[in-house]
Structures are given as C-alpha cells and as structure tokens.
Chains A and B, each alone.
Chain A
C-alpha cells in the first residue's frame, strides 16, 4: 500500500469528489419524502447519510490540505494503458454478447485480451481461447443449464 503521506493530493481530489456525491445525495433525498421521526420516510436515511458523507469528506480534505508534499503520480509511463484496454475489451463483450452469442464472443474476448494486453504467442492464445470457451460452455450452459445468449447465429 502506498504510504499515506504520498497520496495527500489524491486524498484532496477524492475528498472533493465525495463531497459532491454527498451534496447530491442530500439534495436528492429531499425530493423523497422524509417523513417524521414517528414515521420515517424513504428519504430519511439517505439524507442522513448524505450529511455524514459531506462531513467526512470535509474532514478528509481538511486533513490533506495541511500537508503539501509532492505526491507520487497515480499513473506514470502509460501504466494506465493496460487497464484501459481491459475496460475496453470488457465493454466490447457487453455490447456484443447478445448479438453474437456466448460462444463466439467469449472466444473473441479471449483472443483479443491475450493478444493485445499480454502479447503471448499465437499458438498459446488460440489453444487457450478454444479450450477455455469449450470448458466454460460445458460448465455453465451444459452442467448448470444457465441460459446464455445465442446470438443471431443461434449457437448454443
């Protein structure tokens, strides 16, 4: 875990984000009826939580304000690239799975992931992709009878 001191600037940023969330929550809760103490409504607890969040985030900001140490950057040398790729491939999976069906999409997912992110040898990529897709299909669709999308090719 990164030392506490080094992430003070980030604490300030996260503090501000949380503050905004807190305000939005409290604000949103007022549109839900809060009821009275005798009869608390749906907005009761969220409002209270929003206030708590505001207080806590202010404390966080305050604590980090005092220390102006130059922080370690969160990302450096494009370390954000691989996680971003990961997210992108995941998004692809979500978009495509109902169109192409489970089998194809899973296969392509594995191919792209191992090729782009990990850059393994093609032989490894192919065999793992095929094998994993089959095994996963067998476990979930066959053994557990989980309904998986078939896509327009109606595979599965």
Chain B
C-alpha cells in the first residue's frame, strides 16, 4: 500500500515538474513540431528527434529535453492520422489502418468527426496509457522480456492474419496481398546472411524499398490515378460537409472502441519492435468482430477509426515503458531519446526510478501533459483541415502528387525513389481496378522483416525444431489464438455457403 502511495506522490512531484513554464513551453513546441512532422511525408519522428538532439543539450535539464522529444513522438502519431483520413496517405505504418475507414468517412463529408474522434480517442488512450505506465510498468516490462523470437513470430503472424480482415470482402485477395507484401519486404540486403535479394542489380534497392516510397506510391499516386478516371471538376467531397465535430451518436458508438483500443495498444505496445502497427491491426480486427454491423467496416465505420487510433497512441505511451524501466529502447524514436538521456548522464534502466525520480516522474507527467496539448492543438485545426477538402480536386490532385514526390525524394535524395514511387503508383492504380486492397500489402511489408527475422532466430535457437513455437507458454497461446481464429473464419465461410444453398 505504501508502494502505491509512493507512486502517487512521485506522480504528483512529476506534475509539479511538468507544469513549470519552461517545460510546458517545450512540451507545446514538441507537440507542434511532431504534428507537422507527422503530416509531412518523408520526415519521421526519429529523424526529427535526431536533428533536435544538439538543441536539447542547450536546453539544460534532461527532463525538459525528453519532454520535448516525447511531444514530437506523440505529435507525429497525431499528424500521421490526419493525412490518412484526408487524403488516404498513411503518415506512418501505424496509421495505415486508419486510412481504410477514415478516408471513407472523409469522402462522405465526415472528415471532421473522423479527425475529431481520432484526436479524442488518442487523448483518452494516451492518458490511459500513462496511468498504466504509472502503476503497472515494472511487472509488465518483465513480462515483455519473455517475448523472444518465437513469440514475435507468432504475434506477427496473428497480426497479419487479422490484416486479412482488411482485405475488403475477399479474404483470398487479402491473403494474396499479404504474401506480396511479405515478398516486397524481403527485397534488399538480408541482414542475417548478407545475401542480396531481388534487387535485379539495382544498387539503390539494396536497402530495400522504403515505407514512405511505398505508401506514397501505392496510396497517394495510386489513388489519384484512380480518381483521374472521373472528370472531377469539383471538390473531392461533394456531399455537404456535415458536422465538424463528432456527434453524440458518434461518441456513443466509439467510446468502447476507444477503451478496447487503449488496452490492446498498451499491452502490445510494450513489446519492443512493431508494437504500434500490430496493435492498430488487432484493434481493427476486434472492432470488426465485435460490431453489430461489420459490413459497415471499410465504408466509413467510425469504430474503424476510433479503435486503431486509440491503439496506436496508447502503444506509443507503452513503448516508453521498456525504456524507463529496463533501459531497453523499443523503436527508433525511443532509441534517440535513449541516446539523449545517456549523453546527459541519465542511465535509463531499473534504477532510474530510484536514482532520478525527477526524470522518471517528470517524463510520465509530461506525457500526460503532451497528450492534452495535442488535443488542444489539433481539435481547432480540424476545421482548417476539412477546408482543405473543399479545394477543387483539379488543383488538389497535382499538389498531392508533388507532395509525394518531394517527400519521397527527401528520404534519400535520389530520383530513383521517385521512379519507384511512380511504379508503385501504377501498381496501386491497377490494384484498385482489379479489386485488390493495398492495405494488407503495406502492412505485410512493414511486418515482413520482423516475421522473417523472428522465424530464423527462433529456428536457430531451437536447432531447427518448429515445436518451439508451440511449447513455450506465450508463443503457444498466441498460436492457439491463431488456430482458433482460422477455424472460426472457416466456420463462418462455410456457414455462409450452406445458408446460400438452402
């Protein structure tokens, strides 16, 4: 009990630190920068934090610099969903799922509610995440350590199979897209063996295809090319833009999605590597399964936005846990924060909470503050964003194309990437014509390397025995869920066929 009291006191101290004018200012700055970074293609939160690191030394206190960097991190999450909803271009991998229903909502004139519920859901999820962090961080982090290669493999396969639910109406086509995405992910230098795969002699492909290039091409250019077929003289959204804010009805439909998403995101987000992406996938799948109107999904179901957006935000909060409690960075942006801490003489690890409680609790409190700031920043901007959709598509389309080109170019400063993007643009266009959804493909692309790595590492550890995936408790349970999931799907499909016959 005294432990709980101690934590509460720590948190209060943390708030005291977070609410200083200096720290508040930097939290706002970070959130603002992060949002911009999330919206603009090409630059990611990790790169931004890296650029700002030297600045962070001058700020002085390590707490302040982490507060700013955490702001950037969260802001990027928010910004990424903005482009997903407005123009169907995912800002980062965790926002891909948001594209599906978010963009459909925008097309129906409901961009405002989509953006709004996304912001609100993210806020609630982030807050729940911080609460979780406060109270269950250490034991949860220990649990996360038990995740080794076999567990990651099982989890990733489970996530990918859930992505088949994103494949529109045809699970077969969804599976095909997943396989294609996995193959695309293996293009380039194989890190484990050093062999070069599927590059056809193009040196530029040695690092593999970049996510930004694929996303801009498949989603951005592909969508525009598809829309060019119709002579859209007017705006993209011809339906009158109804409410700017989510209605009470929207709220009622989404609130449980938000709660579920928060939990899913929190627990999966703790796992180093891939947490936010997988959690958004799982959240979408859960919402679709739990919904009374699953046929709405893919056409603008608000739960399809509320759930995944909440999931990826609480995953972002949760990804700080391994850093703060074990000293293990879970993804690139957190790794930068890790480096920044080290340089300022702070050792993230199990002793952080006792040695530098000001840093630990200051960070935790500021995460809460950062989330609140983002809500305050973003909600008013919803109106502004929605106006963007009013721009005649004839003008908007080439501008979006340019954005994609520059964004892609800014990653590696090479025109080659623009070509690759163009090719994927054509592919994305053809996919839409032939009735394939690009969503599962890009998700498989992102998760593919993790899947393969884990598979090979696991087999090395088990000396070739595939049983390792089943006789370890966590991996075994995940595989069990996987099997149940597959059986369930088969059952449903068969039942549909039988009912058709009779």
Contacts and interface: CB of A to CB of B under 8 A. Distances in A.
Interface string B159-186: 0000000001110110110011011001
B195 interface: yes
Contact of B183 (A25, A85, A90, A110): A25
A37 B464 contact: yes
A49 B406 contact: no
Contacts of B182: 45, 49
A94 B422 contact: yes
B398 A113 contact: yes
Interface string A116-156: 01101000100010001000100110001011110000000
B429 A144 contact: no
Nearest to B395: A128
Interface string A93-129: 1100110000000100110011001101000100010
A132 B436 CA distance: 34
A124 B486 CA distance: 55
A14 B434 contact: yes
A38 B422 contact: no
Interface string B106-121: 0000000000000000
A139 B407 CA distance: 11
A53 B180 CA distance: 8
A148 B406 contact: yes
A56 interface: yes
A38 B172 contact: no
B144 interface: no
B176 A18 contact: yes
B49 to A, nearest CB: 15
A44 B406 contact: no
A79 B229 contact: yes
Nearest to A59: B172
A37 B466 contact: yes
B175 A56 contact: yes
A28 B433 contact: no
Contacts of A144: 40, 43, 410
A10 B430 CA distance: 11
Contacts, number: 165
Contacts of B315: none
B460 interface: yes
Interface string A32-52: 110011111111111001101
Given A40-B455, A40-B459, A87-B225, A46 B197 contact: yes
A90 B422 contact: yes
A2 B179 CA distance: 23
A86 B394 CA distance: 12
Contact of A11 (B168, B413, B415, B435): B435
A14 B436 contact: yes
Contact of A44 (B183, B410, B456): B456
A94 B415 contact: yes
Contact of A1 (B180, B195, B435): B435
Contacts of A1: 168-169, 435
A82 B172 contact: no
B413 to A, nearest CB: 6
A7 interface: yes
Contacts of B405: 90, 93-94, 97
30 contacts: A11-B434, A13-B434, A25-B183, A32-B197, A33-B195, A37-B459, A38-B464, A40-B455, A43-B195, A45-B182, A45-B456, A53-B180, A53-B183, A63-B172, A74-B433, A82-B228, A97-B405, A110-B402, A117-B228, A118-B394, A118-B395, A120-B394, A120-B395, A136-B402, A136-B406, A144-B40, A144-B410, A146-B409, A146-B410, A148-B409
Given A45-B451, A63-B172, 15 more contacts: A10-B434, A25-B183, A38-B463, A41-B193, A42-B197, A46-B197, A52-B175, A75-B229, A110-B402, A114-B394, A114-B395, A136-B402, A144-B40, A148-B406, A149-B415
The 5 closest A-B pairs by CB, nearest first: A38-B464, A118-B394, A37-B464, A42-B195, A113-B398
